[in-house]
Amino acid sequence: MFDAAVRLYDSFTSWLFQVAVQPALYQLGMMEWAEDAFSWMDFFVFGFVQVLVVYAVCRPLEAWRPVERWEDRRVVTTDIAYTLLSRLGVLPLMAFVILAGVQAQVAGWIADLGWVAPNLETLVPGLESRPLAAFLVYILILDFGEYWRHRLQHSIPWWWALHSIHHAQEKMTFWTDDRNHVIDDMIAALWFGGLALLIGVPPGQFPLIVLILRVAESLSHANVRLSFGRLGERLLVSPRFHRLHHGVLSAGQEGRNFAVLFPLWDMIFRTGDFRRDVFPRTGDPEAPRELVQGGWWRQQVAGTRRLWRALRGLPARG
Amino acid sequence: MRSTLLALPLLLGWSLQGAKAEVLFVVNSMDPGIQVLDVATRAELRQIPVLREPHHLALSPARDVLLVGDSGGNEILFIDPATGELRKRERIANPYNLEFSPDGKMLVVTGLRRDQVDIYAWEAGTASLNLLGRVKPGDMPSHIAYRPDSKMAYVTVQGSRAIAAIDLETRQIAWTMQVGREPAGIIWHNGKLLVGVMGADFVAVVDPEGRRVERQIKVGRGAHALFPSPGGGPVYVTSRVDSRITALDPVTLDIMRVYDVPGGPDCISFDERGRLWTTLRWTRQIGLLDPETGEVSTSPVGRSPHGILFQARNLHPRTDATAAR
């Protein structure tokens, strides 16, 4: 069955590349990117797969045991727009193209120094012949990077000005994961992609790692009364664990539960809250209404204004 | 089940040497790994794991070491072509393509993602490389050719629409010239340079002395790499967008025949019957083209296969590397 799925996927991507992507690159005079485009086409196909997988996992859970029920779901529709723009959009590709140009310069400079950049497999004996172990170590490191990016989003004023769009949602669902300012998304893509390049994540594994993290993040935002139990809560981020992070008393610098996949980081850095019976209301009481109820465009404009004020050292409101 | 069947020859204790087999080395750039296939059965005899993203290969002048560049893993793998055994790995930054000089004394390596070209001395006795020099010819240096006297190397520079001539004695760039959008494959042929212009549909015939494009031969969109057949036969050109292989007359360079080869043909290696084994970049397959009949048969391999080498015992194997000389 797995072989059949792989063959089906290969046939589809092969067809898509030959009838659409490669001719487009040829017309645009970008054939030098053909090999990279073939690799990165997976990212976009994976975008569709991600949305399907996330919906299949999270929607039944939300219908089964919702924390909250709402008559008016218009603000959820805005989050759906965010998801489709983010996961099927061009932001990851833009980050890759920018990084590839920078990487060529950095790689040449490093080679001139006589140093050959290592991979984890060459640094850690044993990983070379254990691809699954190497894969898990890569996820662990990338998740550690995500934990600290998230901490900084809450502690640096201009970054919080952007990230507060994400926390303004009072009707949090699994679609809320992608509710971010585009500048925040760009920074996130550069942060994540840069770390992946730095530690040498195999390009072939990158989409799978992204898929795992994205499914986990979407599930953690789901409107479902679900805890993973005393032990499970300490192994993987649950909807209960992340809901505390989105609680109305948790926004801004007082945040808790920053982890994306492994709560381990919150345990190590003492930012974890493991009360298993608490499912608070979500949202940021200080957020202006356009961040809460505005559509995609209004939220982007408001977020940019808040960023500009923060950069000038002014309070977010006013 | 399928993988078990493919591994059967290995389970039965076959080795390349013991079986006296004709074998194929196939470099899968996106799986990643090197497959050793039995030509007769197409069964996998061995799988050589590679860290990241291998692309091209080169057989040493004495044909006793097969070098494979892992451009994403920053390694060159040294493989025994008779047994398929991995002898050693050497840390070298981004070795995308690699080619031995005709006199067998040097190896030129292009670093596509670091915009550099390295010139190494090849120590045949110890199978070791010693960096002699490094040049920066422009954006995305890719394929390599040599003048027969081994004093000059020519590199296509895809992002700069150019080829660069590198003086191997001074290890400096002697000159560069524009040839067309995204030039890829390049060979020395009867005193001229033939360049596959991937962003267009032609082979540029370049006079290296006059430094001018003398002629353009239309072969199909995405003209890519060129391979002179053994014994002075046709020059074959792959076109990745139109998915075809074009046979050029070795003297006049006129088109002799066009073969449709679906799947994006890339590198070619010839067997002793003059048939063409080619990697099909976009379909997880290799193809076998009989130039007499025009028939193409395919076999499954890993994802995005790139370099390929037909290896027959006591015969002179040709690779995408050796063919370019």
Q: How far apart are CA A166 and CA A164, in angstroms?
A: 5
For residue B236, what pLDDT is reported?
98
Structural contact between residues A179 and A82, judged by C-beta atoms closer than 8 angstroms: yes
Has residue A15 been placed in a domain? no
User: Is the Cβ of B161 closer than 8 Å to some Cβ of chain A?
Assistant: no
One-letter amino acid identity for B206? Answer: V
Partners of A248 in the beta sheet? none
Task: Tell me A282's DSSP state.
Answer: B
Domain that holds residue A274: 36-311
Q: How far apart are CA A280 and CA A247, in angstroms?
A: 5
Q: Which residue has the tokens 């993987």?
A: A236
The closest alpha carbon to A202, from A303, A305, A119, A312, belongs to: A119
User: Is the Cβ of B133 closer than 8 Å to some Cβ of chain A?
Assistant: no
Has residue A211 been placed in a domain? yes
For residue A154, what pLDDT is reported?
92
B205 contact partners, CB below 8 Å, separation of at least 6: B192, B193, B194, B213, B214, B215, B216, B217, B253
Distance spanning both ends of chain A, measured CA to CA: 59
Q: Nearest chain A Cα to B139, which residue?
A: A104
Q: How far apart are CA B238 and CA B262, in angstroms?
A: 11
Q: Which residue has the tokens 């805890």?
A: A227
Residue A76, both tokens: 């959820």
Interface test with B, best of A2, A6, A9, A18 (most B CBs within 10 A): A18
CA distance B324 to chain A (A): 20
CA distance A22 to chain B (A): 7
The SS3 call for residue A196 is: helix
Q: How far apart are CA A173 and CA A222, in angstroms?
A: 4
Has residue A95 been placed in a domain? yes
Partners of B66 in the beta sheet? B59, B79
Has residue A179 been placed in a domain? yes
For residue A203, what pLDDT is reported?
62
Structural contact between residues B26 and B302, judged by C-beta atoms closer than 8 angstroms: yes
Q: Which residues in chain B show pLDDT less than 50?
A: 1-15, 18-19, 314-325
User: Is the Cβ of B320 closer than 8 Å to some Cβ of chain A?
Assistant: no
A229: left (phi over 0), alpha (psi -120 to 50) or beta: left
For residue B127, what pLDDT is reported?
93
Structural contact between residues B208 and B154, judged by C-beta atoms closer than 8 angstroms: yes
Structural contact between residues A269 and A315, judged by C-beta atoms closer than 8 angstroms: no
The closest alpha carbon to A282, from A197, A210, A223, belongs to: A223
Q: How far apart are CA A120 and CA B308, in angstroms?
A: 28
Has residue A22 been placed in a domain? no
Beta strands in B230-321 (DSSP E): 235-239, 244-248, 255-260, 265-270, 276-280, 285-289, 296-300, 305-312
The SS3 call for residue B60 is: coil
The closest alpha carbon to B303, from A203, A21, A281, A317, belongs to: A203
User: Is the Cβ of B56 closer than 8 Å to some Cβ of chain A?
Assistant: no
- Alpha-carbon Rg for chain A in angstroms: 21
Q: How far apart are CA B69 and CA A102, in angstroms?
A: 22
CA atoms in the 13 A half-sphere facing the CB of A95: 21
Pick from A116, A119, A204: which is nearest to B32 by CB? A204
Q: How far apart are CA A28 and CA A24, in angstroms?
A: 6
B122 contact partners, CB below 8 Å, separation of at least 6: B60, B61, B100, B104, B105, B106, B107, B129
Q: Nearest chain A Cα to B30, which residue?
A: A204
Q: Which residues of B touch A128 (CB under 8 A)?
A: 51
- Is the pTM higher than 0.90? no
List, for residues A267-295, the tens digit of each pLDDT value. Answer: 999 999 888 788 889 998 888 999 999 99
Q: Which residues in chain A show pLDDT less than 50?
A: 318
Q: Nearest chain A Cα to B266, which residue?
A: A35
Q: Which residues of A touch B159 (CB under 8 A)?
A: 32
User: Is the Cβ of B124 closer than 8 Å to some Cβ of chain A?
Assistant: no
The SS3 call for residue A68 is: coil
The closest alpha carbon to B307, from B18, B79, B20, B10, belongs to: B79
Q: How far apart are CA B54 and CA B70, in angstroms?
A: 4
For residue A122, what pLDDT is reported?
76
Residue A127, both tokens: 């990983």
Percentage of residues in chain A having pLDDT higher than 90: 45
Mean pLDDT in chain A? 85
**Which residues on chain A place their C-beta less than 8 Å from a C-beta of chain B?**
3, 10, 14, 17-18, 22-23, 26, 29, 31-32, 34-35, 38-39, 100, 103-105, 107-108, 110-112, 116-119, 121-122, 128-129, 200, 202-204
Q: How far apart are CA B209 and CA B74, in angstroms?
A: 35
Cβ of A85: how many Cβ atoms within 10 Å? Answer: 15
List, for residues A249-259, the tens digit of each pLDDT value. Answer: 666 556 789 99
Query: Which B residues, 249 through 308, put their C-beta within 8 Å of a C-beta on chain A?
Result: 263-264, 281-284, 303-304
Structural contact between residues B144 and B153, judged by C-beta atoms closer than 8 angstroms: yes
Residue B121, phi then psi, degrees to nearest 5? -85, 135
One-letter amino acid identity for A11? Answer: S
Pick from B91, B199, B263: which is nearest to A116 by CB? B91
Interface test with B, best of A19, A32, A38, A199 (most B CBs within 10 A): A32
Q: How far apart are CA A282 and CA A278, in angstroms?
A: 12
B190 contact partners, CB below 8 Å, separation of at least 6: B250, B251
- What is the number of domains present in chain A? 1
CA distance A116 to chain B (A): 5
Residue A172, both tokens: 């949090």
Do β-strands B172-178 and B296-300 pair in parallel, antiparallel, or remain unpaired? unpaired
User: Is the Cβ of B90 closer than 8 Å to some Cβ of chain A?
Assistant: no
Asked if A203's CB is within 8 angstroms of B52's CB, the reply is yes
Has residue A29 been placed in a domain? no
Pick from B51, B93, B241: which is nearest to A116 by CB? B93
In which element (H, E) is residue B91 found? strand B86-91
Interface test with B, best of A26, A38, A109 (most B CBs within 10 A): A26
Q: How far apart are CA B267 and CA B144, in angstroms?
A: 14
Q: How far apart are CA B306 and CA B29, in angstroms?
A: 6
For residue A96, what pLDDT is reported?
61
Asked if A112's CB is within 8 angstroms of B222's CB, the reply is no
Partners of B36 in the beta sheet? B25, B46
Asked if A100's CB is within 8 angstroms of B282's CB, the reply is no
In which element (H, E) is residue B89 found? strand B86-91
For residue B8, what pLDDT is reported?
42
In which element (H, E) is residue A98 found? helix A91-112
Structural contact between residues A138 and A209, judged by C-beta atoms closer than 8 angstroms: yes
Distance of CA A40 to CAs A46, A90, A97, B51, B210, Å?
10, 11, 11, 18, 41
CA distance B316 to chain A (A): 31
Its sign, for the CA torsion B100, B106, B111, B112, is negative
For residue A104, what pLDDT is reported?
66
Mean pLDDT in chain B? 89
Has residue A24 been placed in a domain? no
ipTM of the complex: 0.76
One-letter amino acid identity for A252? Answer: G
